[in-house]
Amino acid sequence: MPSVHLLDHVAGNIRSLVNAIEKLGFTVEWIKSPEDILQAERLIVPGVGHFGHCLSQISQGGYSESIKHHVSAGKPFLGICVGMQALFEGSEEDEAVPGLGLIKGRLNRFRDSDKSVPHIGWNSAKPVNLDSEESKTFYGLHPNSKYYYVHSYAVPYRKGFLEEEGWTVATAQYGNEEFIGAIGRGNVFATQFHPEKSGQAGLRVLEAFLSNQSSHLVDQAVELKVQPGLTRRVIACLDVRSNDAGDLVVTKGDQYDVREKPGAVGGGQVRNLGKPVDVAKRYYQQGADEITFLNITSFRNCPVQDAPMLEVLRRASETIFVPLTIGGGIRETVDTDGTRVSALEVAKLYFKSGADKVSIGGDAVTAAEDYYSSGKVLNGTTAIEVISKAYGCQAVVVSVDPKKVYVDDPKDTSHNTIKTEFPSDKGQQYCWYQCYIKGGREARDIDVRQLVTAVEAMGAGEIMLNSIDKDGTNSGFDIELVNDVKSHVKIPVIASSGAGDPTHFREVFFKTSVDAALGAGMFHRQEYTVGQVKEYLAKEGLLVRPLEP
């Protein structure tokens, strides 16, 4: 089997890249020293996280010169995400650390005045100057395809600036900023997006690189003309736990109660909606833009290394090439043998098993409470801070479990209230959203606005906004809650809880500026497919990622 050399110099989900390469019929050889690069025919430098951290690792490991040597020897090189950024001269993310300087230009942070940052989701990589032969066939990139991006810094596109030096450039548009999505010249190719996380469209690009086809004409890409820009993400979420027989199952609660109602078939039992890997694969094939697994009971009596969700992720990531998030139990833990395992180590196990993001629930609430009681001082040791520092903020989602509390008058509470269009039975027109931990069993004295602003300050990259009132009701998302949270943070927000049919997705995307919307029960019960939701959204004029053959 032909092989490709991979430099694993950074934290992150390298497993998915390996899985994608193997699926395409290649084997991976690891670069363990700068000398190994000399032996490499094809070299891939992936990367997520912090520019300065990655570049320092590359230079401290003595790799900078070998990479430059590989490139100047004319051998195939692929840089992915920070692996692409590394080729430029530098980044605003860390002015003190230089890039490799193989391509002119620097990275700037996206402006967050008009949009969420990080830029997370599916966007184009449209070759500039589609009339030229190189652009039409550029590594199998197709102007109608969408690719998965996750980053806060980008190289702004300046017309002609790099083309003059012989580079072929593909760009993406985020808000009113156009930036470089992919770039190549001769033996060098680099993508800001993650081809290994971009479904069929991404695998095609990776295959073009692996088989040395820098000119790879795509004839079977989506016919539908797709607008440039970031799509609305549709996420499928799987709540997973052991049922009473000890099997790992996908379940789904009604307002967090996952047991069948007494008197119903299987009354009192944990609701069983299928096997996690099979269900996740079904959603991938239907066109889900991301898949989230929530381990809702944390399997408290199991050694951390053997946590069943690690195996679920390992297996899921073999065939699912869109981002995977794992939540439940991401916190400091005492293992069954009494050893203390830090939150960072727990997260690392999940990243190594195929997760792209971890989702933190209860631990984020405790951290936010400490943040306020210390007068908003960051202590640097919370799970959010340490994981975000090591893996980048985009890898840290905070899952929030709020529930409405009605009051007669905002003065009746110290919490942040909103005036609601849905008064209580007693006619109360104001409410605040109280945050819960332990699967909705324990209420804390912190409101949702306090929580999301605190975790944003700690370095969370995204909010998964559930609603205990709406969960499992099929009555639509809590639009007021989503609007309240969106107007207080800059990081992306995923609306969750209450989706019962495609119109609910339309409603949340039209009535709020939410970045993504998540459904669970309606997909598990097979009332609608993810594909049907996306088709409906497209008909309604919303930009979604088309499913590619």
Q: Does 455 bind ligand 1PR (CB under 6 A)?
A: no
Residue 466 interacting with ligand 1PR (CB under 6 A): yes
Q: Residue 147 has what DSSP assignment?
A: E
* Count of residues of this chain found to bind ligand 1PR when the rule CB under 6 A is applied: 32
**Contacts (Cβ under 8 Å, ≥6 apart) of 232:** 505, 509, 515, 516, 517, 537, 542, 543, 544
Instruction: Tell me which of 83, 181, 199, 472 binds ligand 1PR, using CB under 6 A.
Output: 472
Contact pick of 152, 168, 191, 496 for ligand 1PR (by CB under 6 A): 496
Q: Please identify, among the stretches 14-22, 407-415, 497-505, 528-536, the one whose residues bind ligand 1PR according to the rule CB under 6 A.
A: 497-505
Q: Residue 343 CA to chain centroid, in angstroms? A: 19
CB of 496 to ligand 1PR, least distance (A): 5
81 classed as catalytic:
yes
Query: In whole angstroms, how close is the CB of 169 to ligand 1PR at the nearest point?
Result: 40
Query: From the CB of 295, what's the least distance to ligand 1PR, in Å?
Result: 7
Q: Which of 94, 471, 478, 484 binds ligand 1PR (CB under 6 A)?
A: 471
Whether the Cβ atoms of residue 87 and residue 188 lie closer than 8 Å to each other: yes
The answer to whether 296 contacts ligand 1PR (rule: CB under 6 A) is yes
**222 or 387: whose CB is closer to ligand 1PR?**
387
Catalytic residue of the set 94, 196, 290, 318: 196
Provide the minimum distance between the beta carbon of 280 and ligand 1PR in the complex, in angstroms, as a whole number.
Answer: 13
- Nearest distance in Å: CB 258, ligand 1PR: 5
CA 36, CA 32: separation in Å to the nearest integer? Answer: 7
Axis-axis angle for helices 362-373, 448-458 (nearest 10)? 90
* Using rule CB under 6 A, residue 249 touches ligand 1PR: no
For residues 175 and 499, what is the distance between their CA atoms, to the nearest angstrom? 27
Site for ligand 1PR in 312-371 (CB under 6 A): 327-330, 359-363
Residues 6+ apart with CB under 8 A from 230: 119, 121, 122, 123, 174, 543
256 binds ligand 1PR (CB under 6 A): yes
Count each helix (H run) and each strand (E run) in the chain, helices first: 17, 28
Of these residues, 289, 290, 401, 478, which one is catalytic?
Answer: 401
Q: Is 194 a catalytic residue?
A: yes
Rounded CA-CA distance 189/207 in Å is 13
196 binds ligand 1PR, rule: CB under 6 A: no
Options 399, 417, 512, 529; binder of ligand 1PR; rule CB under 6 A: 399
Binding to ligand 1PR (CB under 6 A): which residues in 400-439?
401, 439
* Amino acid, single-letter form, for residue 382: T
Q: Which residue lies nearer to ligand 1PR by CB, 12 or 521?
A: 521
237 assigned to active site: no
One of 286, 298, 382, 394 touching ligand 1PR (CB under 6 A) = 298
Any contact of residue 481 with ligand 1PR (CB under 6 A)?
A: no
Report the C-alpha gap between 136 and 129 in whole angstroms: 8
Q: According to CB under 6 A, which one of 99, 459, 519, 546 is a site residue for ligand 1PR? A: 519
Instruction: Round to the nearest angstrom and report the end-to-end CA distance of the chain.
Output: 25
Q: How far apart are CA 40 and CA 5, in angstroms?
A: 6
CA-based nearest residue to 293, from 271, 266, 322: 322
CA–CA distance, 139 with 330 (Å, rounded to integer) = 38
Angular region, 92: left φ>0, alpha ψ -120 to 50, beta rest: alpha
Rule CB under 6 A: choose which of 46, 121, 253, 392 binds ligand 1PR.
253
| Exposed / middle / buried, residue 511 (Cβ in 10 Å: 0-12, 13-18, 19+) | middle
Closest CA to 77 of 28, 30, 43: 43
Is residue 504 among the annotated active site residues?
no
Any contact of residue 476 with ligand 1PR (CB under 6 A)? no
Q: What is the spatial distance between Cα 55 and Cα 113, in angstroms, rounded to a whole number?
A: 29
Q: How far is the CB of 190 from ligand 1PR (least distance, A)?
A: 35
- Could you say whether residue 469 binds ligand 1PR (CB under 6 A)? no
Active site residue 401: yes
Instruction: Report the alpha-carbon distance of residue 52 to residue 90 in Å, rounded.
Output: 9
105 near ligand 1PR (CB under 6 A): no
Task: Using alpha carbons, select from 239, 142, 174 the residue that is nearest to residue 515.
Answer: 174
**Residue from 9, 50, 194, 504 carrying the catalytic annotation:** 194
Contacting positions for ligand 1PR (CB under 6 A) = 237, 239, 252-253, 256, 258, 294, 296, 298, 327-330, 359-363, 399, 401, 439-440, 466, 471-472, 496-499, 519-521
Which residues does the annotation mark as catalytic? 81, 194, 196, 239, 401
